[in-house]
Structure formats: C-alpha cells, structure tokens
Structure 1
Amino acid sequence: MATIDLRTEIKEFLSSRRARITPERAGLSAYGGNRRVKGLRREEVALLAGVSVDYYVRMERGSLAGASDGVLGALASALHLDEAERDHLFHLARRSKAPTRRRRPAVTVRPALQQVLDAITDAPAWICNGRYDVLAMNHLARALYSPMLADPRLPANTARFVYLDPEAAKAFFVDYDRIVRDVAAKLRMEAGRDPHDEELIALVGELSTRSRLFRRQWASQDVQLHRSGRKRLHHPVVGRLDLDVESMELPAEPGLLLTVYTAPAGTTTADGLALLASWAAGQEKPTTEITAWAHRGSV
C-alpha cells in the first residue's frame, strides 16, 4: 500500500463522529423511540450544517474535494468536533483537493540541533517526527527512556514500544491506558496530514498486524494534537517521576518536534532527575547508538 485511502478515511471519520452525537446533545428533538441509527441521522447533520442531504451524503462517502472552508467549519460545528478533529477534517479536505506530496520531514538532525539538545543539561530532551521516530536525544533523555532503548532496532520508536512491548511499556508508563489512546490518535492525525508517508503506512501496517490493542485504538478514528502536558513514568533506576512535558514544532524543520521534560525545583521528581543525571553520567558512551544511526542516515 503506497498511500492511505482518503475516501475511506473521510467516510469512517465522519460516520464515527456522527454516531457519537445524540439528537439531544445536538439540540434536536428526537421523534419516536426506535431510531435505527446510532447518533445523528445524515439528514440531521445536513440540517445542522446548513447543507443539502445529498451534499452531506456525498461528503460522508468520501468526497470533500469541493467543500469550502465555510462548509467544513459548519460541518465541524454540527459534529461538535474538537480542535484536533477540526484540524484533521481540514487536512483530509486539503489532501482531497490537492493530492500532492507533503515535504518529507528530515530523517536526520542537523548538528546544530544536536548541540541544542546537548546544551540542555538538566532536563531530558529529544527530537522526533510525527510517526514517533526518535531522531536525536540528549544524555538525560537516553537515561530516562532507557527501557525503550533496550530494543536494538533503530530509530527508536515510541509507538512500537507502547504496542509491541506492552509489558515493559506498562511498567514504565504509569498512565499506560491513556498513552495507548494518545499514540494511536496522534498517528492518525499524522496520517491525515500526509497520507503518502510510506514509512508511516508501513508502521501502521506493522502495528495493525502485531497488536490487537493498536487495531482497536486505530479503529476508533480518534485524533489528537501533540501538546504540552504531564507524563508520569516509573523509571527502573530512580522510581516515580511526574514530569511536565513541552512539545514544540521546529519551524526550520517541518514535521519535527522538540520535546523537553522538566519538574519544578524542590520536588521529588526534580530530585529524581538529578539522581538520573548522576546515573546517566556513569552510563554515557562517547558515541551513542542513536547518534551513530543519525550519521548513517537510515530510516
């Protein structure tokens, strides 16, 4: 498979969002007690969006190429889409109108960016792409994510760790159930941005083949933005760490994200990071595996 089927993506996304909204939630009167559909009917969505029933049916069958931004916005409001879902809808529509290839994110990290990571000495920091490939890390991030880096396959990939090594991932991520939802949702968001990304398609295929949990999460059609937040980990050396996470897009490197993990001074987690840094100093090698992989330019 060289690309994701946009018509199928659109159909399944819109029908799943329609199915979750009751007439009461949409502000409509539900006539009759025996509704044959879950959620809203197509004609009810059309009414709420201010379009004809035939037009909405065409959209839900996968035809968004002619939809204006105004129509898409009205549809997003009718379906009560959140920010990530709205962005996903617009991504799908743009790809329908102009099926051109998106500029591929870099597969290696410029030396200057590695220098930036290395200059961050008190906080774990790494750079990844939208499919969760870890392209560069500082020494503290390597120490923090040592359970994931135990897999010799390069580049290290958070999604593979979460779904294909579930026992280790459950031991590492305190909120594992939330993580499995978030990772699948962010991968689907990335698929909407770039349905031609062959590496992403291959990753989704691998995870779908090998993980029933991923198949279930992927089928939900949920999407999510990469955002700042809180991540709770249980590190095998220093124990529980409750970390604040900041994820930032790199304007000069479209498709790449810089993520930094911090903790307020004086907290147990800040002490844990200091202990982790001491442990990492004894583990550090002159040339790390991830740096060696980056210089080879593999994917």
Structure 2
Amino acid sequence: MDNRAEVRDFLVSRRANITPQRAGLPDAGNRRVPGLRRSEVATLAGVSIEYYAKLERGAIAGVSASVLDALARALQLDDAERAHLFHLAHAADGTSAGMRPRRRPTKRWTPRPSLQWVLDRFTAPAIIRNGRMDLLAANHLGRAMHAALYDTTPEGCPNFARFTFLHLDAAHDFYPDWDTAADTCVAILHTEAGRDPHDKDLHDLVGELSTRSDAFRRRWSAHNVRAHGAGTKRFHHHDVGDLELAYESVDLVSEPGLSLTLYAAEPASPTAHALDLLASWTATQPDAGQPGATTTAATSRQDRL
C-alpha cells in the first residue's frame, strides 16, 4: 500500500465526516466540501495550519504520539480509527516492521492437532481466520454453518471477502443484511492494511476485488476501519433457515495474526433450536468435518422424504 496516499485519504475522509456543529464550532458561510476545513482541524488539534496540511499530504513519519492523540481527538476518531492512525504512522517511520506478526510460509496454514481438538470441544460454531478474511479452520458446526463459503471454494481456502463480493447470489442469501456484512468486511480489510501494509497477499486480494467488484471499490475508497470484537450477526442457512448469533472474537496468542471467533445463540431461542438441528444432522455424517458435508446431509434428507 502507498502509505502517504493512505494517510492522506484517511485524514481527508475523517475530516469530511465531522460537521462544525459536531465539533462545537460556528458554521461560518457556505462550504465547498463537506466537513471541517483544514484550518479548523489544525485549531482543534493545537497545531499550525501549515503543519496539519503537511500531515494531510501524507508526511506523517516521525510524528509524536501526543500530536497523533490531538489529531484523533480533533477528528473524533473511535478506538479502531485511532489505532489505524497510529498504525499508519508506525508504517511511515518503519517502526511497524518489528510489530508485525512473523511471516508465515507461503503454503496454506493448517491448525495444529491440539488446536483442532480445542475447536472441536466447543459445541457452538467456532472458526479461525486471519486479517485477510481467510477462513482457515473450523469445528464441525462452524464448518456446517459456513457451508455456503465452502461450497463456493471446493478446493483451497475460503475467503469471506471473495465470497461476499464475487459470489453475490450465495452471499445475499447467506447474509440477510448484505450491505452491513459488506461494509464490515471491507472495514476489517482496511484495518489489516494499516496494521500490515507490506502484506503482498492482502495487496493482491484488494487489487483483485477492486478490479472485479464496483461494490468493493466504492467501499474501499471510503477508508472506514473497525475492530471486530463482539456483537450480533444474522445469517440464513439453506438447511435450517435464519440464524441470529452473538459472537466473540479473540486474538490467538500462540498464532500471531489469527483470531478465534465463537458464536452462540440465545438459550431456548429459534436459533438455538436451529443450531441443535444442524448439529444433529452434521453428527450423523461420516464426513461431517469435510467441505461439502452439509450439502451431502441435505441431499440425503431430501432422498428420505
């Protein structure tokens, strides 16, 4: 990624999001562009207009933490946006090199047997992914829940971003609120790009999606970022119907750069019943832990009807 361009576009996009009223400033006259003027951001951050203009041109290398904090306050950045700004600054001055997770071999990562045992001990869906949104591992129920992704990638590693933007029929069916899922997916990728701007695989993925998907390209240009920690998601599974699941994501200390996501349904809810049904179907299949197992189960049920 071009660090200076990323810094410039990120600061400009955040400045455009803040109105004078929101910043507690008088709205003096018509504005040619939305949001604050550079001079207003400089005043709020306590720096000169010339200095802020230099920062917005992408010259952020060597900027002190206190100035970055002042910028974050002036632009009212949330926690994810503030972290992204610091990551961009670290990348600009080279200090991010020692903070990045160690490089992995180019061959596909697979979980250690003990890690897969841990996943399989969870009765709820559990998955492991990286910052590029590759779905690297899952327990039986996690694989069954994400059957739509595995079906579009019979060989190789499923990727949430490719699925969301390049397999639109399946993705719109799997995500009842596709727009929210798409926004979240791109924001996670942008966050990862700020954290590790030298990830060639991520560069290639962004380039592929930007070329093949207008929807992705529009969202990427918005420069939104977010932390993916906890919340609620809605899915539609082709066998058991609608699912509304709480999720918690945690970083794996033993596997830098990877995160574990656990899903859970409200007890006694329709989603809990649907997961129980999916789990029982999955458990009866001898290849339940393999791609396509859920499709096989669905076919065998239809044959019995």
Same fold by TM-score, threshold 0.5 exceeded?
A: yes
> What amino acid maps onto 2:20 in structure 1?
P
Q: 2:26 aligns with which of 13, 26, 29?
A: 29
Shift of 1:103: 2.6
Range 256-265 or range 193-202, more displaced: 256-265
Which residue does the alignment assign to 1:8? 5
Poorly superposed stretches of 4+, deviation over 4 Å: none
Name the aligned partner's letter for residue 143 of structure 1: A
Residue 210 of structure 1 is matched in structure 2 by 212
Among 56, 60, 68, the residue aligned to 1:60: 56
- Equivalence map 1:187-266=2 (5 Å): 187-266=189-268
Percent identity (aligned): 53
- Structure 1 unaligned runs (5+)? 291-299
* Residue 277 of structure 1: how far off its partner (Å): 0.6
Shift of the alpha carbon at 1:38?
Answer: 2.1
Shift of 1:283: 3.6
Amino acid at match of 2:79: E
Deviation of residue 109 (structure 1)?
2.0
Q: Residue 284 of structure 2 aligns to a residue in which SS?
A: helix
RMSD: 1.6
Report the equivalent of 1:178: 180
Alpha-carbon distance in 2 for matches of 1:240, 1:286: 21
Contact 1:163 1:211 (C-alpha < 8 Å) held by counterparts: yes
Separation in 2 of the partners of 1:135 and 1:266?
30
Letter in 2 for 1:112: S
Deviations 1:234-263 (A, max 9, x none): 111011111111111111211100011111
Q: 1:76 aligns with which of 72, 78, 88?
A: 72
Partner of 1:124: 125
Give the match for residue 141 of structure 1. Answer: 142
Post-superposition shift, 1:268?
1.1
Give structure 2 stretches of 5+ with no counterpart: 293-305
Aligned amino acid, residue 13 of structure 1: F
Q: Which residue of 2 aligns with 1:294?
A: none
Residue in 2 aligned with 1:293? Answer: none
What CA deviation, in whole Å up to 9, does each residue of 1:125-175 have, x standing for no partner?
A: 111101111111111111101111102242111111111011111111122
Between the two structures, name the one with larger relative contact order (CA 8 Å, sep ≥ 6). Answer: 1
Label 1:273 to 1:287 Cα distance change in 2 as closer, same or farther (>3 A): closer
Contact 1:228-1:246 at 8 Å conserved across structures = yes
CA contact (8 A) 1:247 1:259 kept: yes
Does the CA-based 8 Å contact 2:140-2:288 persist in structure 1?
no
TM-score for the superposition, normalised by structure 2: 0.89
What does residue 103 of structure 1 align with? 101
Pair 1:219–1:132, CA change in 2 (3 A): same
Q: Distance in 1 between matches of 2:239 and 2:270?
A: 14
Are 2:140 and 2:289, in contact at CA under 8 Å, matched by a contact in 1? no
* Cα distance in structure 2, aligned partners of 1:63 and 1:134: 36
